[in-house]
Amino acid sequence: MQLPEEFGNELVIRLLLIVGVIILLLVVVRVVSRILGSTIQDPTKSYLAMRAVRRSAAALGLVVGIVILSPDSSGLVTVLTVIGAGLAISLREALLSIAGWLRLVTMNDYRVGERIEIGGVHGDVIDIRLLRTTLMEIRAWVQADQSSGRITHVPNAWVWLHTIHNYTRGFNFIWNELAFTVTFQSDWQAAQNILLDLADESAAIVEKQAAAEIHQMSREFLIHYGILTPFVYVSVKPDGVLLTLRYLCEVRKRRGTEHALTISALDAFEKHGDIQFAHPSIDIRRTDPIHADPG
């Protein structure tokens, strides 16, 4: 279809106006962000203010763009339809990320400050933008729930493609397990009691807080926890008796509590004197007699 020359010139002018508006908004956002960064000292307030400015500018730019491109002829509708179809195909991932951002805004699968796992990536959410979510990564080569030091960006489209594990939404505690294997000759019952006593020392406060959060969370989810106290499971392994301490701890204190409990357990086992850790052993026996070589 041949478009009139006047319409082509008008469309070019409108597109140039949109580009000019975008450039103007970018300059305004940069200037305002610098002013806010120098006047607001609290990092949290500064971040929230800058995010509000960016979102306001994006919304304003979208509205202005729609006004500028508001259809006033059937030819413009045809051109916009063709452009929209092409963008939908070429920018599928970007559009899916925008849809993911809308889901995050409306459904709150996760928010800034929460610890999540998505697509095999673990981390604390430090920013949510139109196309991506930024995480302060944990784990990776670090063998615990602690920061690796890397900032990781994941596309918002992942909320449609992967399961989201939220560690802190509603319930800020997780179950952790600490395992010790003692020899069959050791007093494993004493070791069991030692582990329970150590865990019980810090369990009272944790249980009270966890019970309150479970009560609050039960208003939204059908969830029931009958036992919140620590427990030691006993099982027999080829090398000895396995004692597994299961206890509640705060999400961001898993490694710290494990460290403290391990040191206390090692000291208590040493003082007891009749508790020895088991080690893997191999029994090698020759069943055929050794024959000398007659040659």
Pairwise CA distance, residues 26 & 31, whole Å? 9
Please name which of 264, 202, 270, 188 lies closest in space to residue 233, comparing C-alpha atoms. Answer: 188
Instruction: Please report which confidence band the pLDDT of residue 3 belongs to, taking 50, 70 and 90 as the band edges.
Output: very low
Q: Indicate the domain borders of the chain.
A: 5-90, 107-166, 173-272
- Specify the pLDDT at position 293: 58
Instruction: Please report which confidence band the pLDDT of residue 2 belongs to, taking 50, 70 and 90 as the band edges.
Output: very low
3-class secondary structure, 128: strand
Which stretch, 67-76, 159-168, 217-226, 284-293, has highest mean pLDDT? 159-168
pLDDT tens by residue, 61-111: 877 776 776 655 554 555 556 556 666 666 778 888 989 999 999 998 999
CATH T-level assignment (fold) for domain 5-90? Helix Hairpins (1.10.287)
Mean pLDDT of 213-227: 73
- Specify the pLDDT at position 53: 84
Pairwise CA distance, residues 22 & 91, whole Å? 19
Which stretch, 78-92, 183-197, 208-222, 280-294, has highest mean pLDDT? 183-197
> Is it the case that residue 249 has pLDDT exceeding 70?
yes
Instruction: Please report which confidence band the pLDDT of residue 178 belongs to, taking 50, 70 and 90 as the band edges.
Output: very high
Across 227-284, the runs of DSSP E, i.e. the strands, are: 231-237, 240-250
- Of 45-49, 123-127, 154-158, least confident by mean pLDDT is 45-49
Instruction: Please report which confidence band the pLDDT of residue 289 belongs to, taking 50, 70 and 90 as the band edges.
Output: low
CATH T-level assignment (fold) for domain 107-166? SH3 type barrels. (2.30.30)
- Specify the pLDDT at position 22: 87
Adjacency order of strands within the sheet including 132-138? 147-155, 132-138, 121-128, 115-118, 164-166
- Specify the pLDDT at position 158: 95
DSSP per-residue letters across 138-190: ESTTSSSSSEEEEEEEEETTHHHHS-EEESSSS--EEEEEEEEEE-TTS-HHH
> Is it the case that residue 294 has pLDDT exceeding 70?
no
Mean pLDDT of 25-50: 83
Which stretch, 39-53, 147-161, 199-213, 274-288, has highest mean pLDDT? 147-161
- Of 43-57, 58-72, 167-181, least confident by mean pLDDT is 58-72
Instruction: Please report which confidence band the pLDDT of residue 209 belongs to, taking 50, 70 and 90 as the band edges.
Output: confident
Please give the CATH number for the structural domain made up of 173-272.
3.30.70
pLDDT tens by residue, 100-152: 999 999 998 999 999 999 999 999 999 998 899 999 999 888 877 888 999 99
CB 36 within 8 A of CB 53: yes
- Specify the pLDDT at position 190: 95
- Specify the pLDDT at position 1: 44
For residue 263, how many C-alpha atoms fall within 13 Å in the half-sphere facing its CB?
5
- Specify the pLDDT at position 194: 95
Instruction: Please report which confidence band the pLDDT of residue 245 belongs to, taking 50, 70 and 90 as the band edges.
Output: very high
